[in-house]
Amino acid sequence: MPEKINRIYPDDAVILAPLAGFTDIAYRRSARRHGCQFAFTEMVDAGALAHGAGRTIKMLSRGNDEPWLGAQLVGAVPAEIAEAAKIVSDMDFDVLDFNLGCPAPKVAKKGEGAALASKPEAAAKAFEALARNSRIPATAKIRILHPKDPVPTIHLAKLLDDTGAKAITIHGRTKKQFYSGPVNLEIIRAVADSVSCQVVANGGVTGLRSYKETRHGTGLNAVMVARGAMGNPWIFDELKSPGNWRPPTPGDLADEIEHHVLDMIADDGLELGLKKARKIILDYMKGRGFPRVLKTHVITIANEKDLRKFTSQLRLGLAKRGISWFEKHPDAKRRLTLVAPDV
């Protein structure tokens, strides 16, 4: 694989993906508490931004404590993309990314995201509008276009490379696969061998084992983590310092949930912050052995007192049934340290 020059990301970079409806300031701060350096805003609609939607501007807020932050636009109309790129360029961002990988129906029906990528020439034209009007490095995020044949994806990547992409992140699943099924690392590798810009591997990284498999299978040393970080900011500790990492204790989990949700309340107000926090709390609990009945209590949290009462239940740890499940599934993707290290 040829050496890439003027790379966006250094060796061993682990990047938090732009996640629509998730990666706001509070979410990113949670990840950064556990070693995340490179992160993105939520995906922002270029048309809404170009036409001055206030909520869209707020999605581009950057904390004073954030060391590196990229913004991501999605769109299909070159004129709107160009105007949105100019707006973002006047803000404090390190990279401007263009989404050509989102498979969500509400995005696809507008001909954006992965739907636009299925028309490589149109996708390249849209990306060129972004790159020409951006005063910061322009990058793109795509999916593979065929589950076995690398040629269509290589064609798209070369067009993006030729129109100014400084890096391309490739999710190794097709639009049809969404977020499940095998990740084709070979196609990612083939694309990386075919373009001059930096390539970042994405898809299916949920822990150290899948991270190592991704790096080995693609030959790439920059990896983007998406769903594997949902409710699991400790993944950055695990991937960056595997020798010193241990799963969170119930107390660690409760502390992080409190910190994260209180940040959301500070940013969005009590009512909206708690409404948005419900899915966040459930993500933290997912796959960690807590009973379903406790999860149903999330919807009853109406204030900070309720939040602390709820997290106090988490601090008690798992019932015998949850502990037994983990004992039978030592390779579970989500784990808890059930006994404190110094006991």
Active site residues: 102
Cα(22)–Cα(70) distance, integer angstroms? 15
SS3 of residue 339 by DSSP: coil
Amino acid at site 202: N
Determine the 3-state secondary structure of 155 from DSSP.
Answer: helix
CA dihedral over 208, 276, 257, 39, signed as positive or negative: positive
CB 296 within 8 A of CB 278: no
What is the rounded distance in angstroms from the CA atom of residue 193 to the CA atom of residue 190? 5
Strands (E), 176-324: 198-202, 223-225
- Taking Cα atoms as reference points, which of 177, 137, 181, 175 lies closest to residue 156? 175
